[in-house]
Amino acid sequence: MSAELRRLFPEGLKNNEAERGKPRHEPPLRFAPSKSVQPDDGEDTNSKTITVELGQKTTMKVVPYVFIDVESFLAYQKQHTYILDQQDSKANWAKLASALEDTNLKICDISPNSIVPQDKTTRKRLVETKDSLRKKMEAIITKAFTLYQNMSAPALRNEWDDIVAEHCFTTGWLDEHGAPSNDQRGQDWETLVDCKRLHLLTVCDMDAAERHDQYMNVTLKKPQRLAIKPFYKRVKELDELAPSLPCLKDQLDCPAEVKRRNVSMSPFAMCGLLMRNVSVQIEDEYNCLHSVVPTNPKKLVEQLTKIETKLGGVPPHGLKSVRFKGDGQPDDPNKRSRSEKKKAKVEHGGRGNSMEARIPRKDPPAPPKAETKCKLCTEYGGSAKTHKTHVCKKWLAGGKPHPEWKGGKAANINVHQGSDMNQLMAQQAEFNKTIMKQMAKLGKKKKKKRSRQHFSDSDSSDSD
């Protein structure tokens, strides 16, 4: 990810904010960038760097790459290609190849059996030139392989050495006709690309392009905390890495009807992705201004950014969001009519304006609760929580029945009946207790009788 995008990304943005659920298949590239690997404490990072010559007496320092994720791995391989381009490695190799072809033609024009001394000398000089050109071409290729090796950390370097040894210096590989070859492939630009692709397959699957295509068109969504412009830049950055991913179409046994997926999106497809990830309000605003679907992503992002700023979806830092009326004019609270001010007061909880509504206010302290518990019913019996003491119609002060409580006399009779009932219940409990004791004694006697019979039976058996 570029430095500009890292600056625009919200702090702590995670992948689940930019994804519609968990991906079914692990994608090779995720929307949220991964954290870089930090060196250990006391570790000298300068001693690990290597100095690379770029050309015109310029150099650059490169830190050997340690694997973080697939995105950083692709950046590491692109850095290798960038250094080769700065060194004009392929251009110099092409010049030497052209000179070698011309030298071969000149050698063919002179017969090896010529008896002319001058022709013999010229042919010998051309043969020496041919050998020199071949050595220079081989040196450029070897330097490119060695550069990739030196740019790798020890773990990746060992994997790279195994891949180069197996792919470039072994026989038995299938040629273009499908027959085993007795020759080695050797090292050239084509085998360099093949080895880099095989090295990439050690950190991702062979269907990485298909997974990336599904992630971009199905799983990806715009985070709410991210504006449209940085979202588009990040999507474009991921889309540019698609051609570097392994694809099922590169496999020998791939069906013919399978389409190649390691290709970048077309401008029309990119516009469709952006329109799918904006809010309904932004989409409606855009459709009101345009009668056809968008086809230019850059112009679309500019227009969506203006609409987003107007609606206040992601307000820019340092700017206050402006409230608009239905006709698109800014809403000034000081120029409202009496009915509009009353409506705004109701919307903001009875306060005059939205600024007052945002200020938290402390609620007034609640008044002390009045006593709602009857003391007489609490002491002499009754529903004490349903009324207060001074309105009690069941008891008078001192525990006397209230004359309005079912005639007074009936209430007094009920009181005595309640005491007699308590006495009867106490007598019944005492009677039950006596019966339980007698039953317990009978149970003990039966146990003793059984034990005596058991001992007598055992004695009789012993005597027999």
pLDDT of residue 17 exceeding 70, the answer is: yes
Q: Based on the fold, state whether residues 191 and 284 are members of the same structural domain.
A: no
Q: Based on the fold, state whether residues 136 and 205 are members of the same structural domain.
A: yes
Q: Is residue 319 part of a domain?
A: no
**Nearest residue to 69 (alpha-carbon basis) of 16, 19, 29, 17:** 29
**Residue 301, domain extent:** 267-311
What is the band of 410 on the pLDDT scale with cuts at 50, 70, 90?
very low
On whether the CB atoms of residues 31 and 234 are closer than 8 A, the answer is yes
Q: Based on the fold, state whether residues 91 and 136 are members of the same structural domain.
A: yes
Q: Is residue 253 part of a domain?
A: no
Report percent pLDDT > 90 for the chain. 37
What is the band of 315 on the pLDDT scale with cuts at 50, 70, 90?
very low
Q: Is residue 399 part of a domain?
A: no
Angle in degrees, CA 165, 170, 173, rounded to 5: 125
Q: Based on the fold, state whether residues 102 and 208 are members of the same structural domain.
A: yes
Q: Based on the fold, state whether residues 153 and 124 are members of the same structural domain.
A: yes
Distance between CA 288 and CA 328 in Å, rounded? 13
0.85 exceeded by pTM: no
Q: Is residue 288 part of a domain?
A: yes
CA-to-CA separations, 234 to 5, 10, 58, 220, in angstroms, rounded: 7, 13, 32, 11
What is the band of 379 on the pLDDT scale with cuts at 50, 70, 90?
confident
What pLDDT, on the 0 to 100 scale, is given for residue 143? Answer: 93
Q: Based on the fold, state whether residues 122 and 271 are members of the same structural domain.
A: no
Q: Is residue 341 part of a domain?
A: yes
Q: Is residue 293 part of a domain?
A: yes
Instruction: Decide: helix, strand or coil at residue 51.
Output: strand
- Tens digits of residue pLDDT in 238-285: 999 999 999 998 888 888 888 898 999 999 999 999 999 999 999 999
What is the band of 73 on the pLDDT scale with cuts at 50, 70, 90?
very high
Number of helices (H) and strands (E) in the chain: give both, helices first.
15, 2
Q: Based on the fold, state whether residues 201 and 304 are members of the same structural domain.
A: no
Q: Based on the fold, state whether residues 212 and 70 are members of the same structural domain.
A: yes
What pLDDT, on the 0 to 100 scale, is given for residue 111? Answer: 81
Q: Based on the fold, state whether residues 285 and 165 are members of the same structural domain.
A: no
Domain boundary among 277, 311, 345: 311
Tally of domains in the chain: 3
Which tokens in the block code for residue 8?
A: 């625009």
Which residues, other chains included, contact 107 with Cβ-Cβ below 8 Å and sequence gap of 6+?
A: 123, 126, 127, 130
Which tokens in the block code for residue 197?
A: 């692709």
Q: What is the mean pLDDT of the chain?
A: 79
> Roughly how many angstroms between the first and final C-alpha of the chain, as a whole number?
103
Q: Is residue 276 part of a domain?
A: yes
Q: Is residue 38 part of a domain?
A: no
Q: Based on the fold, state whether residues 111 and 168 are members of the same structural domain.
A: yes
Q: Based on the fold, state whether residues 156 and 281 are members of the same structural domain.
A: no
Which has the higher per-residue pLDDT, 381 or 147?
147
Distance between CA 459 and CA 441 in Å, rounded? 28
Which has the higher per-residue pLDDT, 312 or 448?
312
Which residues, other chains included, contact 348 with Cβ-Cβ below 8 Å and sequence gap of 6+?
A: 354, 356, 357
Report which DSSP code applies to 48: G
Q: Based on the fold, state whether residues 275 and 336 are members of the same structural domain.
A: no
